[in-house]
Structure 1
Amino acid sequence: IGDSHDPMVLAVPGDIGQPGVGRRLVDATLERFGRVDTIVNNAGIFVAKPFTEYTDEDYDAVTGVNQRGFFELTRAGIAAIESHGEGGHVVTISTSLVDHANSQVPSVLASLTKGGLNAATKALAVEYGSRGIRANAVALGIIRTPMHAPETLGFLSALHPIGHLGDIDDVVNAVLYLEQAGFVTGEVLHVDGGQSAGH
């Protein structure tokens, strides 16, 4: 991540899947801004392969980013939130493939890791609710980003009952809703064009 000229943005280079990086992000945030109020676990790796074709390297990469990154950043972040005693929020980005596997998108490692994060979200909500810390997740369908080649967009759109991809604003709006929804915790909010309902 490059450096930003916006004083309200702090860019910290690092691979979130590597030990110590999550803690470093929180330490840098505390140094610059003095506190942590909300954690958004957005980093993720998605590798679609038949299960028996996954390599040990695929496993290490996906679990490193999707799970170690979540674990280290959230552990350090919740400790920082607790230190100011005014409560806070953890939002984790997940996938609807956890709820509705798709034979056209073989992705067991996504289900393995993100399914664990959905369960961890509920566990955190219960563990920290009495301390004013909420935990929620946003389970996504396919979002239009530069990672998707233009020639795949028709196929990807057809994977959603609604018939088109989501936009980044759809994700942002879901996170902002959860940020403001003080009575919502332990929720996995599906922003997926109906994928989790079936197809």
Structure 2
Amino acid sequence: MVTGASSGIGLEVARYFLDRGDHVVINSQTESKLKEVYKELGAGENLVFLAGNVADKSTGEALAKIALEKFGSIDVLVNNAGIYDNKPFLEVTEEYLDQFLTTNLKGTFFTTQAVIPQMQKQKDGVVINVGTPLVYHAIAQSPSTAPISSKGAIHALTLQLAAEFGKDNIRVNTVAPGLIRTPMHDETIDNNAGMHLINRIGEPEEIAQMIHAIAKNKLISGAIINVDGGMGAGHSL
């Protein structure tokens, strides 16, 4: 199951799993875009889509239900749906903060809550959240306290869930991407290549590779894994 799958990282994660023979349930909020992606990915029997806002608890429940109906199990959940924006701290309103807490944190929290019972029955499953190196690596020129607060909560949630459900053989991890070439950024993103030690912007496929590797490696749990070209360690300025 991949949320936020209509573009960028989520789309490439869905494609990567499909190309390797997995069954995939894709989700995003806008049904028209999701239908286009469904067709782009081949509209095969191993792919199903369900539109809905992950901030609504019922969306996660519907995703779990359709995965079980179509494919019989829930093995991997990728909580990719999320929003990001810059705004100086002193300009952040309650309404502005709430949109990040609702989409990023609540969306991840309740979609995960919807799949855990089935994973407990299976005694197997993995949840992979999408965080950011900016939780531990603040940048003065990128004032983003609202989204980063929500992502920091996701990092903390990852560790707590890994601890609580390790006994059920359920693994929970977070992948923290650096600057990735997605529709979230415009064509000037390459001007920021020096944020990465390798001095280039990342590609969505590189995040998909890591998410797939974590899904298949049964020993990785409670990990926050940066896939950020070295940004967490330093910069090439």
TM-score tier after normalising by the smaller chain length:
over 0.9
The TM-score, its normalising length taken from structure 2, stands at 0.78
Equivalents in 1 of 2:138, 2:46: separation in Å? 39
Q: Does 1:105 align with 2:105?
A: no
Match of 1:128 in 2: 165
The residue number in structure 1 matching 2:14 is none
- Does the CA contact (< 8 Å) of 1:18 and 1:69 recur in 2? yes
Give the 3-state SS of the residue equivalent to 1:115 in structure 2: helix
Whole-angstrom distance in 2 between the partners of 1:59 and 1:27? 31
Give the C-alpha shift of residue 102 in structure 1: 0.6
**Counterparts of 1:91 and 1:64, CA distance in 2:** 18
| Count of residues in correspondence between the two structures | 197
What is the percent sequence identity of the aligned residues?
35
Which residue does the alignment assign to 1:63? Answer: 101
Taking the aligned partners of 1:20 and 1:10, their CA distance within structure 2 comes to 18
Map Cα deviations across residues 143-181 of structure 1 (whole Å, 9 max, x no partner).
10122111x223332222221111011101111111122
Does residue 164 of structure 2 align to residue 93 of structure 1? no
| Letter matched to residue 120 of structure 2 | E
The answer on 1:167 being equivalent to 2:203 is yes
Query: Secondary structure of 2:52's match?
Result: coil
Superposition RMSD in Å: 1.4
Q: Which residues of structure 2 form unaligned runs of 5+?
A: 1-30
Q: Does 1:141 align with 2:178?
A: yes
CA distance in 2, matches of 1:160, 1:109: 23
Deviation of 1:84 (Å)? 2.6
Task: Kindly indicate whether residue 79 of structure 2 is the aligned counterpart of residue 36 of structure 1.
Answer: no
TM-score (normalised: structure 1): 0.93
CA shift at 1:44, angstroms? 0.6
1:140 and 1:191 in contact (8 A); partners too: yes
Consecutive unaligned residues of structure 1, counting only runs of 5 or more, are none
Q: Which residue of 2 aligns with 1:21?
A: 59
